[in-house]
Structure 1
Amino acid sequence: MNFKKYKNNFLDYVLNQRYGILIELYSEIYYLTYKLMKKNNIKCVNLPITTQSVSSPMGLGSDSLPYKVISKKNKYEFYLADSMQFYLELLLRVRNVESIGYISSSFRGEEVDKRHLHQFNHFEVEFKYDLKKTKKLIIKYLKYVVKNLLKTHKKELEFFDKDNSWRLNKWLTNKVINLSFNDGIKILDRECKQGISQQNNFISINSIGEKYLIEKFKEKIIWLNNFPETLVPFYQQSINGYAINSDLLIGIGETIGAGQRSFDYNETINSIKKHKNNPEEYEWYLKMKSEKPLLTSGFGMGIERFMLFLIGEDDIREVQLIPRETDLEVLP
C-alpha cells in the first residue's frame, strides 16, 4: 500500500478486489475467534486504550516503544496502550473468571516497516493456569481458524497464492516442537550468524534468525522458549535467569508471544528493578501482586501478522485496512 498516494487515491484502494477479500477474511477470523472464546469459556471484554502503566516500558526487555500522549489540561503524561495485558491480569482476580481476553487496537511508537505497524489489531487472553496449558490452547485456536477458513474461504485464500490451501493443509499436519532460545542461538551461530544480534549486552535472535529457523524446521510448528530474562519485559516469571516464555514462529516470524506472569509482589518488584524500570509507575500493579498473588499466563497475537501467514505474504503494511503511520497525518 503506497501511503503517499493513499490520501488522494483511497477510493481506488477500497474498491480494489484485494481489499474486499481482506475484509472477508478478517471478518471470518474475528467470528471464529469469538466463537472459540465462547466455547472455551473465555470472557470477552472491551477496555480503555489509555494507560499510565505500559507493558513495554523503556527498560531492559522492552520489545516496543510506548506511544506517549500529553494532556494539556491536566499536565500529565499517559500512553495509548501497547497491550491490555495488565488489565486482563486484574480482571482475572474477579470471582468466577478463569480466563479473559479481547480484540482491540494496540499502539506502538516504532516507525512503520514491513514487520511493524503503528496501530494493529491485538488478540490477547490471560488464563488462571500455567504456560504449558496456554500453549496447547493457542495451537488449538490456530488450527481451528485455519481448518474453518480452508472449508469456507478457500477461494479467498487462493486469491493471494494458488498454493495457499496446499500449504495450510500441510501446516495442519506438522508436529509442534519446542526449541530453547539457547539451542536456537547455537544453530544460528553455526549456520546463519546474521540471524544473531546484540540487545541489552545479550545476544538475541533477530528477524533474519526467526525466518531461518522457520525454514530449517519447515515441517514443524516451532515454539522458541525461555529467553534470557533481560530480553523480555519485567512481568514475565523467570527461573535461574531465563524467562518462562514462548514465541510462536510462523509466517514472517514471531506472531504470538506467550508467557507465565510473575506470581507475587517480591517476584515482580525484583524484576522491575532488575529491568531498570520505575516501581512508582506500577504501584497499582504491585499492590495487586501483593494482595492477590495468582498463577497466571497469557498470550498476545497481532492479527495482521496472522493474516500474512494465512495469505503467504511478508509485508504487514499491505494487509492493514486503513493505514496509520507514526506521528504522520494520513487521511481518511
Structure 2
Amino acid sequence: MIQKYSIKELLKKGIFFLNQKVLVEGWIRSMRYSIFLSLNDGSTINHLQIVLSKYFKKEFLKKITIGTSIRVIGIIKKSIGKKQCIELHSTDIKIYQSVPTQIMQKSILQPKKHSIEKIREQSHLRFQTNIFGCIMRIRNNMSFSIHKYFYEKNFFYINTPIITTSDCEGAGKMFQVTSMDLNQNDIDYTKDFFKCKTYLSVSGQLEAEVAALGLGKVYTFGPVFRAENSNTSRHLSEFWMVEPEMAFFHLEENIHLAEDLIKFTIQYILDHCMDDLSFLNENIKKWNMEGEISLLEKLKYILKYPFKKISYTEVINILNQEKEKKNITFTHTIFWGMDLQSEHEQYLVNIYFKKRPLIIYNYPFCIKSFYMRVNDDGKTVKSMDILLPGIGEIIGGSQREERYEVLLTNIKNKSLDKKLLWWYLDTRRFGSVPHSGFGLGFDRFVQFMTGMKNIRDVIPFPRTPKNASF
C-alpha cells in the first residue's frame, strides 16, 4: 500500500523521501508551462511542485485548472529548481473536482492579489488563501502553546458555562437567552426554560474563581459574548478569552504570570511557525517603530525587555504633563478617576514608552469591578492591565477581594443584586484565601502576532454588530 503524506511532512523531511513512491492530495494553486503544478493541502504555506508525466492525454490535462482538487501518486525526486528541494514526478493523478476557469475568476481564489476587505467578503473561501492559511496555522499554534504553558505550570483546564445569570463585570450589555415569546407584553420568566433571565456569558471568571478555591490553579479558554455596539477594528461580539485563576496569588505574582505567558507564546510561535511568519512578514505593511521594522523584528523586540510597569496615578500625571509640555490635544479630558480611553493607551505605549509593552496597576475603585481587592487607601484596587503596542489592552486582571464583608459592601456600592451572587459570596465564607487572575483577549493576541490591522481577519467567522454571515 502506498503511504499518504501531508505536504508539510514531505517538505520537512525532503531528502529522506528521495526515490520513494508516495501519495499526496490537495488543491492546485498554480500551473507553469502545462508541466509543473503547485500543490497545497493546507498543512503549510509552502507548495509541493508536481511534475506532470508526458503520458497524460491532452483531454485529461485540460481538466486540471487552478483550484482543482486532486490525488497524486508519484516518485519523490531532488529538484533542479532553486525554490524547492524536492518535487513529485507524477505517475497517476485522480481528479476529485475540476474548477472551470470562468467560475474561478469570480472568487478570491483566482491567482492575483486581493485586498483584505475583498477577501473578507468571501469569508467562506478565505481558508484557501495564503494569508488566511498563515493566520489560522499561527492561531492554532498559539492556542496549543497556551494550553502547553498552563499544563507545564500544573494548572487544571476547566470548562465554565456559556449560559449565565450574571454579567460578571457589573456592567455592559449581554445577549439574552430565552425560549419565551418576546412579543408578549408581560413576560413571566419563571416559566422560561431556566425559570429566570439568562444570558450568554461575558466571562468565565467567577466560576473559575470557585474552582481555584478548591483546585489551586485553574484556567478556562473559551468563547464569550458582548452585545455592545463597538464596531471597531479591535472589537468582536463573539470572541475567545483565556482566564487563569490562582489561589494564594497576590497581584505581583499575577502580573509576572501574565507577562511570562505572553513571552512564552511569542517565543513558541517564533520557534514553530517561522514559514508562516516569514510570509506575513513579507506581505503586510511595515510596523512603525522609529522608522520601519518588520513583524519579526517587532516580536523579537517584545521579548528583549521587561514590560514597563507604572501605576494609574503616575499615568494620569504623565498624560497631563505631556499635554501641557507638547500641547497635545486629547478628545477625552484627563482627570484622576477617568477610564483611560484608547487614545491615551496608544499614546502611552506607542509614543511615550516607545513601543514597550506597558503594565498599568492600581486603578480607581470607581471605574473597576466589584470583585477587585480594595487597597488600604480605600480609593484604588489591586488591578492591572497590560497594553501592547499597536493593539492596546490585551490583558485585564486583578487580585480578587477575598474578604466577605468588603465584597458585600462592594456589591452594594455597585448597585448589584446580591441574590444573584449568593453563591459567589458563599465562597468567601468557606476557606477564602488571597487569589488572583486575569483575562487575555485571545483574538487581539492573534492580531498582534500576525500584524493584521483588523480583528475580523484573525478569527474564522467574525461576529460583529449587524454581521453574522457565514
TM-score for the superposition, normalised by structure 2: 0.64
Following the alignment from structure 1 to structure 2, what is the Cα–Cα distance between the partners of residues 101 and 167?
Answer: 28
Q: Which residue of 204, 207, 232 maps to 1:84?
A: 204
SS at structure 2 position matched to 1:93: helix
1:142 aligns with 2:280: no
Following the alignment from structure 1 to structure 2, what is the Cα–Cα distance between the partners of residues 102 and 92?
Answer: 11
SS at structure 1 position matched to 2:419: helix
Count of residue correspondences? 321
Within a 5 Å distance, the mapping from 1:1-332 to structure 2 comes to 6=121, 9-58=122-171, 64-72=172-180, 73-74=192-193, 76-94=196-214, 97-111=215-229, 112-128=231-247, 129-162=249-282, 163-191=294-322, 192-194=328-330, 196-197=332-333, 202-215=337-350, 216-218=352-354, 220-239=356-375, 240=377, 241-251=379-389, 252-326=391-465, 328=466, 330-332=468-470
User: What is the percentage of aligned positions where both structures have the same residue?
Assistant: 24
Larger Rg: 2
Higher relative contact order, structure no. (Cα contacts within 8 Å, ≥ 6 residues apart): 1
Where do 4+ consecutive residues of structure 1 move more than 6 Å?
none
1:180-219 CA-partner distances (Å, limit 9, x unpaired): 11111122223245174589x9422100111111112136
Q: Is the 8 A contact 1:189 1:196 kept in 2?
A: no
Cα gap change, 1:197/1:257 in structure 2, threshold over 3 Å: closer, same or farther? farther
SS at structure 2 position matched to 1:289: coil
How far did 1:331 drift? 3.4
1:136-178 CA-partner distances (Å, limit 9, x unpaired): 1221111111112112212322333341111111211122221
Letter in 1 for 2:173: L
Q: Is the 8 A contact 1:66 1:108 kept in 2?
A: yes
How far did 1:3 drift? 9.9
Following the alignment from structure 1 to structure 2, what is the Cα–Cα distance between the partners of residues 29 and 197?
Answer: 38
SS at structure 2 position matched to 1:189: helix
Letter in 2 for 1:205: L
Letter in 1 for 2:176: K
How far did 1:121 drift? 0.9
Following the alignment from structure 1 to structure 2, what is the Cα–Cα distance between the partners of residues 102 and 158?
Answer: 31
Greater share of helix: 1
Q: Is the 8 A contact 1:29 1:145 kept in 2?
A: yes
Cα gap change, 1:206/1:3 in structure 2, threshold over 3 Å: closer, same or farther? farther
TM-score for the superposition, normalised by structure 1: 0.89
Equivalence for 1:61? none
Following the alignment from structure 1 to structure 2, what is the Cα–Cα distance between the partners of residues 3 and 133?
Answer: 44
Cα gap change, 1:91/1:195 in structure 2, threshold over 3 Å: closer, same or farther? farther
Letter in 1 for 2:232: D
Q: Is the 8 A contact 2:370 2:414 kept in 1?
A: yes
SS at structure 2 position matched to 1:91: helix
Which runs of 5 or more residues in structure 1 are unaligned? 59-63
Cα gap change, 1:229/1:235 in structure 2, threshold over 3 Å: closer, same or farther? same
Q: Is the 8 A contact 2:120 2:126 kept in 1?
A: no
SS at structure 2 position matched to 1:175: coil
How far did 1:69 drift? 2.2
Which runs of 5 or more residues in structure 2 are unaligned? 1-115, 181-191, 283-293, 323-327
How far did 1:283 drift? 1.5
Following the alignment from structure 1 to structure 2, what is the Cα–Cα distance between the partners of residues 243 and 65?
Answer: 24
Q: What is the Cα-based RMSD across aligned positions, in Å?
A: 2.3
